Structure 1
Amino acid sequence: MIAITVGAVVIGGIKSIANVTDKLVPFMAGFYVLGALAVLVANASAIPAAFSAIISGAFTPEGVTGGIIGVIIQGFRRAAFSNEAGIGSAAIAHSAVKTDRPVTEGYVALLEPFIDTVVICTMTALTLVVTGVYSDKALEGVTMTTAAFTTVTPLFSWVVTVAVVLFAVSTILTWCYYGTKAVGFLTNENRVAILIFQLFFLAATVVGASVNMGAIIDFSDSMIFIMSIPNIIGLYLLAPVVKRELDQYRTDLRSGAIRSYKA
C-alpha cells in the first residue's frame, strides 16, 4: 500500500511531491508534538528530574569511561539518518526552489536539523524518561515510544502509529526524489532510466517491509557514511564561496537593497 501511494505521487514529478509533502510534513510534526506535549503535561512534575537524569547520565564517570565511543558513533549514525545534515542529500530538494538568493534557502535548511533533532527528538527523549519506560529492557524503538504515550491514555498508541506512517511515507517520497534526480543527472535526464529506477525503488520498498530491519539500518548507515565523505570534502572546498555569498547577502540586507524580504 505504501509503495502504491508513493508511486502515485512520485510519477507526478517534483510538483506532485511538493504538493503532498508541504501538507504532510507540518501535519505529522504538529500531530506528534501535540501528543508528546500531552504526555509531558501529564508528567510535568517529573520533567526537571528527567533533564537531570539525562545530563548526569551523560557525564558520570561510568557513562564517559564505559561507552562514550559507542554512544558517539551511535549518536552520529542516528543524527545523520534523522536530519541528513552534512551528507549532501537535502541540497537536492532545496535546489528546486526558485530564488535569486540561494543564501536564503540555506537559512531555511538550517531550521531542519533544529526542528527535527533538537525539538522533536528531545521531546521524545523526555517522554521516555518522565514515564519511566526507558528502563524497561524489553522495549526498544517505536514500541518504547508507544508505551510512553499510552501512559496517558491507550488511545495515544494511535498517535504514534499515525506519526510513524506519515514520517515513513514522507521519508520514502523524499529519498525517491533524491534518487530520481541522481539518475537523471547521470543519464542526461533519460526518461526510461528514470522510470526503471522509480519502479526498482518501489519494489525495494515492498522488499524492505519483509526483511530484517537490522540489516536495512546497517546498510543505510553504510551508504549515508559513504555519501558524507565526498560531500564534506566539497563543503571545505566551497566554504570560500559560501562565505562570499553570505557576506554579500548580509551587506545588501543591512543597506536596504533587499526590500522584498522585509515585505
Structure 2
Amino acid sequence: MGFEQLEAWSIAFADAVWGLPMVALLLGGGAFFLIVSRAMPYRYLGHAFAVMSGRYDTPDEAGELSHFQALAAALSNTMGLGNIAGVALAIVAGGPGAVFWMWMSAVVGIATKFFTCSLGVMYRGLDSAGNLQGGPMYVIREALPRGFYPLAVLFSVAGLIGTLPMFQANQLTALIGQTVFDGAPPAWSGLATGLVLAVLVGTVIFGGLPRVAMVAVRSLPAMVIVYVTMTLYVVLTHLGEVPSLLWLIVSEAFNPTAVGGGFVGIMLIGVSRGVFSNEAGVGTEVMAHGAAKTNEPIREGMVATLGPIFDTLLVCTCTALVILLAGQWQNPGELSGITLTANAVQNEMGTVGLLALGFVALILSTTTMFTGWYFGAKCFGFLAGAEWQPYFRWFFIAAVIFGASVSVDVVFNLISGSYGLMALPTMVSTIILAPKVMTAARDYFRRLES
C-alpha cells in the first residue's frame, strides 16, 4: 500500500468513526453525566485542587502514583502537540467555529472524566501477573456481565493504535525541519529526527511507569507555564482584537455556510479535535488515574476533572487566539498543524519565539510519547498477557520512526479514528455504571462535609 492509498484509507476510517452518532455519544453522554450528578464535579472543584495539592495523599494505599502524579501522567498524554498542532488542524479544517465545539467537549468532558476515572479506581482488576491495574477494559471485565467483554477487547485493540506516538513524532519532525533542518530533504530530516527520538523515548520507557511519572511531574508544569506565558504575551499585545475574535468563534460555530461543511461539519471537527485534546471519554485518562494510590474512587475522579480545564479551556484557547490573531489560517498554503502555530508565533515573537516553541514542543511531545507507551503497554498486556508487555516497547519505538516519515493526515486520522473506537466502550460502560458512581459520590461528599 502506497502512502497515497494509506492517506485515503486513513481519511475514510476517521470519517466513518467520527460521524454524528459518535458526537452524540460524547456530547450527549457528557450532558447526561452533568445532569444526573447535578453538576457535582463543578461544585466541588475547590476540593479537586486540594486533592491535587497533596492534602489527601495516602501513600500506603493500593496504587502506583500520587494524586498529582496521576494527573500529571494523564495531562502529559493530553497536553502535548494536540493542544498546539491539533488546534491548528481544527481551525484550518473547520474555521474559528471549531474552537467553540472544542470548548463544549471540555465543558461536558469535566463531568465525563469524573465518572470514568472514578470507575477506574472503583473497578480495578488484576492482570495475568497479579498486578493491580486500572482502565476501561478492567472496568468492563470486573463490573459488567461477560456479554460485554468484547467491548474490553475493542478498547484494548483500538488503544494499541490510538496510543502510538506517531502524531507527536510527525509534528515534532515538522517543527524541527522548519527550525533546524530548514532546506534539507524532508525524507532525510524525517528519518534523522525519528531515529534520535526513538533513542530518547527508549531510554525512558525501559525504566517503566515510575520513570515516566517522574519525567512528567518534573517537566510538564514548567513547559505549560512557558507556553501559556508566550501565548498570553501575544494575546495581550493585541488585546483590543480579542473580543471580536471570541465573537467570531461563537458566531461561526452556528454558521450554516461556514467553512468545514456548515454547522454540523464544524461540530464534528470541533468535537473530534476537542476529544483529541482532552481525551474525556476516550479511556486513556482512566488508565492514568486508575494507578493512583487511593481507596477513594471519587477523590481520584475529582482530580481528573481538572484535566479539561488545563488542557482545552486554557492551553487550547491560548493556541487558538494566537493562530486567529496571525490571520494566516485563512490561507495556510503548505502550513499545517504545528507549522501553522509556529509561523503565527514567529510572526509575533520572531526567532526567539520560534525557538522557545520548539523547545516546549520537544518536551511536551516526548512526555506524551512516554505516557502513550504506558497506556499502550497496558492494552497489550490485557490482550496478550502481562508477560508479553516488554516486547511492546520495540513496536512502540518503531512507530516513532514511522510517524516521523509519513504525512500528518495519515497519522492524525489514524489516531483520531482509534480514539473514537476507544470512546465507544468507555462511554457505554460508564453510562451503564453511572448509578454506582453516584452512590459512591453521595457517600464520599457526605463524609467529607461531616
Deviation (angstroms), 1:61: 4.6
Partner of 2:310: 115
Are the counterparts in 1 of residues 257 and 263 from structure 2 also a CA contact under 8 Å?
no
- SS of the residue aligned with 1:62? coil
Amino acid of the structure 2 residue aligned with 1:195: P
| Match runs of 1:1-263 below 5 Å | 1-63=196-258, 66-138=261-333, 139-154=335-350, 155-190=352-387, 193-255=388-450
- SS of the residue aligned with 2:391? helix
Amino acid of the structure 1 residue aligned with 2:304: A
Are the counterparts in 1 of residues 255 and 262 from structure 2 also a CA contact under 8 Å?
no
1:165-210 Cα shifts (integer Å, max 9, x gaps) = 22211211111101112222334420xx112111111111111111
Are the counterparts in 2 of residues 183 and 194 from structure 1 also a CA contact under 8 Å?
yes
Please list every run of 5 or more consecutive structure 2 residues that lacks an aligned counterpart in the other structure: 1-195
Are the counterparts in 2 of residues 58 and 64 from structure 1 also a CA contact under 8 Å?
no
Deviation (angstroms), 1:64: 9.4
Aligned counterparts of 1:9 and 1:152: Cα–Cα separation in 2: 35
1:96-140 Cα shifts (integer Å, max 9, x gaps) = 110121211111111111111111111111112223233333243
Aligned counterparts of 1:185 and 1:166: Cα–Cα separation in 2: 29
Amino acid of the structure 1 residue aligned with 2:343: A
Partner of 1:260: none
Amino acid of the structure 2 residue aligned with 1:251: R
TM-score if structure 1 supplies the norm length? Answer: 0.90
Please list every run of 5 or more consecutive structure 1 residues that lacks an aligned counterpart in the other structure: 256-263
Deviation (angstroms), 1:151: 2.7
Amino acid of the structure 1 residue aligned with 2:309: F
Same amino acid, percent of matched pairs: 33
Structure with greater contact order relative to length (CA < 8 Å, sep ≥ 6): 2
Are the counterparts in 2 of residues 180 and 194 from structure 1 also a CA contact under 8 Å?
yes
Structure 1 residue ranges (4+ consecutive) displaced by more than 6 angstroms after TM superposition: none
Amino acid of the structure 1 residue aligned with 2:369: I
Alignment coverage as a number of residue pairs = 253
- SS of the residue aligned with 2:265? helix
Are the counterparts in 1 of residues 228 and 315 from structure 2 also a CA contact under 8 Å?
yes
TM-score if structure 2 supplies the norm length? Answer: 0.54
Are the counterparts in 1 of residues 274 and 312 from structure 2 also a CA contact under 8 Å?
yes
